[in-house]
Amino acid sequence: MPTTTEPKPQVVPDEEECGAEGERCRNSQHDHGTAPHQTAHGGGLLDWEAERFRRATEALGLNAAVTCVLHCAARSVEVEIPLERDDGSLEVFTGYRVQHSMALGPAKGGIRYHPDVDAAEVTALARLMTWKTALADLPFGGAKGGVPCDPAKLSARELRSLTRQYTVGMLPVIGPDTDVLAPDLGTNSTVMGWVLRAATEAGKGDLRLVTGKPVILGGTAFRAKATGVGVAHVADLAYGHLGETLEGARVAVEGFGSVGRWAAVELADRGATIVAVADVTGAVYAENGLDLQGLIEWIGRGRRLVEFPGAETLAASVLTVPCDIVIPAAMEGTLDQGVATRLSARLVVEGANGPTTPDAEATLVDKGVAIVPDIVANAGGVISSYYEWVQNHQRMSWPETDERDLVLQRLETTWNLIAGTPAEAWRIQALTIAIGRVIDAMTAAGMLLPEMVGAS
C-alpha cells in the first residue's frame, strides 16, 4: 500500500476537559515530575484520586456501601482497533471508555491519544470529570476515553482511521444524551470532526454527540481558549482572595499548549508578568518577564520553545523559579515532592488534572502555599463544552463574547463555593460539595434511599 501524502493536522491538545498540554518531558535534566501510574511515591493518579475521595467521604460521614457505589464506574468498555499502517503492516490498538457516573446527566469527557493511556488513567480521569461537572452545576456526569498511541508517529490517514474505528466501536454506548465526547490530550477539534463524521456515516450523527468541534461543524469560537482563559480568571480571583493583585505578579506556566498559552496571554492582559514557561522541549526563564507575543510567534514558526532567544534555559522544573503564582498545566504528577520543597510561589492553580501529588500537597500546605484544585481551576473547558452542547440543541450560534461571559460567570460561582473556607481545605471542600450533589441526584432518582446514605 503506498504511503499517504495527505497533510497531517497539527495535533495540539484542545483540552476541553483536562488541562494537560502535551507529552511528558523526555529530557532527563528536567525534573517536571514522574509518570502518573508508576511513581516514586508508590502510586499514581488512580491512587491519588482515591485517597482524596476517601477523605471527602469521611468528612461527609458516608457508609462503606454508598462510598463504593459513588466510586465505582457505571460502565467500562474496551475495543480492539486493528489499524493498517501506511507501510501495509497491521497494528492492533486498544481503545478505552469509562463512564463513571450519569446521575446528573449524560456522561461527559474527552478522548486522549497518548502512549501512557491505560484503563487506570481513564478511570481516574472519569471520576474527576464527575466531580468537576457536579461542582460546576452542569447537567453532566463524568467519563473519559483514550487510545495508547503516539499521534506524532501516525500519519493523517492513520489517525483518521484510528479515530473512525474507535468511534464506531464505542457507538453502542455513546450518544448526545448518553455520553458526550470531547478533545483531550493528543486530540483536537480536527479529531472531533472525524468523530462526528464517523458517527454520521454509521447513521448516528448528531452535533450534540461531540463538543470541541470545528466551528464550521457546530463548534464555538471560544472553545479553544476556554480552559486557559478560565484558569487565568480563577487565578485572578484566588490571588485577590489572598489580598494580592495580578498587576506585576510574577507567574510561571508549565505547559504551553492551548491551556498554558491562553492562561499566560490572559494573565498578561490582566497585568501579570510571565517569567517562565515550559513545554515538551524544555523551559525558559526571563527575570524581567518573557516577550510572550514574541514567544508565541517563535513557536508558530515551528521553532522550539527552549531555543527562544533572550531567555535563560532552565535545567530544573519551571515550577521552582522565583515567582508568585505557578500554573501546572502539563500532565498529572508533575508537581511532586521534590518540586514542592523548592517551590517559592504563594499560589498554585492547577491547570492540568492531578498535577499535585498528595505528599507534595502536604508539603505545600505546611509552607502556607494555597492550591486551587483542578476541578475548580480548569473547569472552564467543560463549562464551554456545555454551552456548545446547548447551542447545538438550539441550532443557534452565540457571539463569542456572550459565551466567554457565561463561562467566567459560572467559574466565579464555582470558585465562590470554596473561597469561604481556609486554603488548606479548598480541595476537600470542592469534593464534598460535588459528591453531595451526586448523592442528591441519586437519591432524587431513587438510586439511593435517604436512610442508606449515613455512616454505618
Tens digit of each residue's pLDDT (9 = 90 or more) over 356-372: 999 999 999 999 999 99
Question: Is 67 a residue whose pLDDT tops 80?
Answer: yes
CATH number of 224-377: 3.40.50.720
**144 carries an active-site annotation:** yes
Per-residue pLDDT, averaged over 236-258, amounts to 97
Give this prediction's pTM: 0.91
- Rounded-to-integer distance, Cα 88 and Cα 402, Å: 49
Tallying the residues shown for the chain, one arrives at 456
Tens digit of each residue's pLDDT (9 = 90 or more) over 46-62: 999 999 999 999 999 99
Decide: 389 and 180 in contact? Cβ < 8 Å.
yes
Q: Where are the domains positioned within the chain?
A: 224-377
In which band, very low, low, confident or very high, does the pLDDT at 22 lie, cut at 50, 70 and 90?
Answer: very low
pLDDT at 445: 95
Q: Is the dihedral of CA 408, 409, 412, 413 positive or negative?
A: negative
Alpha helix locations (H) across 378-444? 380-394, 400-419, 426-444
Decide: 121 and 37 in contact? Cβ < 8 Å.
yes
Lookup: cell for 38: 508508576
Question: Is 172 a residue whose pLDDT tops 80?
Answer: yes
Q: What percent of the chain lies above the pLDDT cut of 70?
A: 90
For residue 421, give the nearest of 372, 454, 353 by alpha carbon: 372
Lookup: cell for 284: 525558559
In which band, very low, low, confident or very high, does the pLDDT at 14 lie, cut at 50, 70 and 90?
Answer: very low
pLDDT at 6: 44
> Which one from 132, 144, 213, 225 is the annotated catalytic residue?
144
- Rounded-to-integer distance, Cα 109 and Cα 98, Å: 9
Distances (CA, A) of 115 to 95, 185, 186: 12, 11, 10
